[in-house]
Amino acid sequence: MNVSELRLRFANALARIRATKPLVHHITNYVVMNDTANVTLHVGALPVMAHTTEEAAEMTGLAGALVLNIGTLSPAWVDAMLLAGRRANESGIPVVLDPVGAGATAYRTETCLRLLGGLRVAVIRGNSGEIGTLSGAGGVVRGVESVEGVANPAAAAGVLAHRYNTVTVITGQRDIVTDGGRVLVVDNGHEWLTTITGSGCMATALVAAFAAVEPDFLVAAAGALAAYGLAAELAAREARGPASFRTALLDRIYSLTPEQVAEGARVERLRQP
């Protein structure tokens, strides 16, 4: 696939989300639930949050994708994540993992490794410190922020992608997306994204919506990040600060057209050594 083909795939995926309105089941953190529900709705999918073992697996069975986000974790939620994840795996529903704060505490790191070990994860999306921690390449996470990235993000992502047979995404100034073989770089985005909480979680929610309609998860993840970054670029024009940026970001995700994605996606393939 060359860049033109990729852009077209991204645009088609967005169009397909709008046409089919896939249900995206989120087991996610309290801080960002409202934002990620809205982002899911604005891009054209249907969000639902259901976190108790009494219904998590049943809800997943109805969904087109499952988000597992460990931002505010507790043991009961991990149980629900495992149940929902297994149901997703049985039914061929893609699981998208957001390892919020992996590396900051042992509990977060261990939970991520447990989820990665026990489930087939379609895509894992984190910052440089989180993915660095999980890959063993290093990186330092303070709270939920990457305060020290890895020297070679593509290599760290590749290690994780190989080990768990999962598309691995490191978002940052340049977003890296790899399945262990192919490596895509997405350059859409805006620095305002670093000023709001949950910007990574919203990216993950969009990756899930795209993965619900695009079976090549490398393409799905890169397409979601291009769309998100593009909306951020448009939103930046309306921003008077981080909160008005966030409002504009959500507005622009809603109004983003497949045509804008086809024209504005800045993606390239990285040559591997």
- Name the residue nearer to its own copies (CB basis): 143 or 273: 143
Q: Distance (Å, rounded) from C-alpha 134 to C-alpha 45?
A: 30
- Comparing CA positions, the residue from 132, 120, 126 lying closest to residue 70 is 126
Per CB under 8 A, 240 contacts its own copies: yes
Q: How many CA atoms lie within 13 A of 257 on its CB side?
A: 3
Is 223 annotated for ligand binding?
no
Burial class (CB in 10 A: 0-12, 13-18, 19+), 143: exposed
In this structure, how many other beta carbons lie within 10 angstroms of the beta carbon of residue 53?
A: 14
Per CB under 8 A, 73 contacts its own copies: yes
Task: Tell me which of 105, 173, 257, 272 binds its own copies, using CB under 8 A.
Answer: 105
Per CB under 8 A, 247 contacts its own copies: yes
Task: Tell me which of 1, 8, 107, 187 binds its own copies, using CB under 8 A.
Answer: 107
- Name the residue nearer to its own copies (CB basis): 142 or 152: 142
Per CB under 8 A, 207 contacts its own copies: no
Q: Distance (Å, rounded) from C-alpha 257 to C-alpha 43?
A: 10
Per CB under 8 A, 251 contacts its own copies: yes
For tokens 């959500």, name the residue.
250
For tokens 């997405």, name the residue.
186
Per CB under 8 A, 154 contacts its own copies: no
Per CB under 8 A, 42 contacts its own copies: yes
Per CB under 8 A, 16 contacts its own copies: no
Stretch that binds its own copies, among 150-158, 177-185, 206-214, 252-260 (CB under 8 A): 252-260
Residue list for the binding site for substrate: 49, 198
Interface residues with its own copies (CB under 8 A)? 23, 25, 29-35, 37-38, 41-42, 46-52, 54-55, 58-59, 62-63, 71-76, 101, 104-108, 142-145, 195-198, 238, 240-244, 246-252, 254-255
Binding site for ATP: which residues? 125, 171
